[in-house]
Amino acid sequence: MFARVVRPAVVNSNALSVGYQGRNYATLKEIQLRLKSVNSIAKITKSMKMIASTKMTRAQRAMEIARFFGATQAALFNNADTKPPEDGQILVVTVSSDRGLCGGIHSSVSKYSRNLLLEKPNAHVVVLGDKAKSQLSRTVREKIKLSFNQIGKAVPTYAEASAVADTILKEKIEFDQAVIVYNYFKSVISYEAETIPVYSETTFSKSGNFDAYEVEDDVLENLKEFAFANSIYWGLVEGHASEMASKRSAMENATKNAGEMIDKLTLTYNRGRQAVITNELIDIITGASAI
C-alpha cells in the first residue's frame, strides 16, 4: 500500500526534473544562437569600420586640396568686400548623401537649412543626397527646386560638382547669393554644419572694392560658374570626409557594444550550463544513494 502511494510521487518528481532540464537546455540553445548572431554582427561592424577608416584617409587628402582652393575663393570675395543685397534671391544648396549608418550627420545640415529658410522664407532649395531630401521634404517640400542623388559614392570629384552646378544654372534658378550648407570636418570625432557663400556676377560687380580688379564681363560670367562649382565641390568633399569619420565612429561603437553583449551572453551561458551539470550530478548522486 505504501509503495503504491509513494510511486506516483516519485514519477511526478522525475517528470518535473526532466521538464526543468528541458527548459534549461532550450534556454542554453537560445543563448548559443544569440551568441552566434552577435558574433556575426561584430565581424560585420568591424569590417565596416576598417572600410570607413580607409575611405576617410582618402577623403581627408581630397579635402585638404579642396580647402586650399576654397580659401582662395573666399579671400577674393572678402577682399572685394562682397555683400548680398538685402532683398536679393537666396539659393540654399544642402549637401548630404544617399546612405545612412553615420549618426546625425544628415540631420545637422537639414536642421541648419530649415533655420536658414525661416530667416529667408523666399529662398529656394537644391538638395544633394536622398537623406537630406527626405528630411526637408517633410517641412519645405514646396521650396525644393532640384535634387540630386548617386553623388559621392567614392571620394567626390570636381567633375561631379561641375555637373551639379551646370544643371542648376541651366534650369534658370537665379540667385544673388548661393549658400552651400555642408558638414565642416573638425576632427575624426567632430563635425558641425557650416556655410560657403557664393555670389552672382551682378552682386560681385557691386562690391565695395570691385574697382581694384580689372575684370571683363565675360570673365565675370565664368567666375560665377567656377566659384559655384568650386564651392559645391568643397562642400561635397568636406561632407564626405565628415560622413566617413562618423561612420567609423558609429561602427566602432557598434563593435564595442557587440563585444560587451558577447561577454554578458557568454557569462550567462556558462552559468546556465554549470547549473544544468550540477542538477545532473545531483540526480546521479541521489540515484546512487537510493540504490
Q: How confident is the model at residue 152 (pLDDT cuts 50, 70, 90)?
A: low
Return phi, psi of residue 98, to 5°: -100, -5
* Tens-digit pLDDT profile for residues 181-205: 999 888 878 888 899 999 888 888 8
**Whole-number pLDDT of residue 8:** 39
Residue 282 exposure: Cα atoms within 13 Å on the Cβ side = 10
Homologous superfamily (CATH) for 54-249: ATP synthase, F1 complex, gamma subunit (3.40.1380.10)
pLDDT attached to residue 21: 42
Integer-rounded Cα Rg, in Å, for the chain is 32
* Residue 103 binned pLDDT confidence (cut-offs 50, 70, 90): low
Q: How far is CA 235 from CA 66, 151, 156, 170, 260, in A?
A: 9, 12, 10, 21, 37
CB-CB contact of 96 with 131 (8 Å): yes
Q: What is the mean pLDDT of the chain?
A: 82
The residues near 259 (Cβ < 8 Å, ≥ 6 apart) are 42
The domain limits of the chain are 54-249
Bridge-based pairing of strands 190-199 and 177-187 is: antiparallel
14 compared with 143, residue with greater pLDDT: 143
How many Cβ atoms from other residues are within 10 Å of residue 224's Cβ?
A: 21
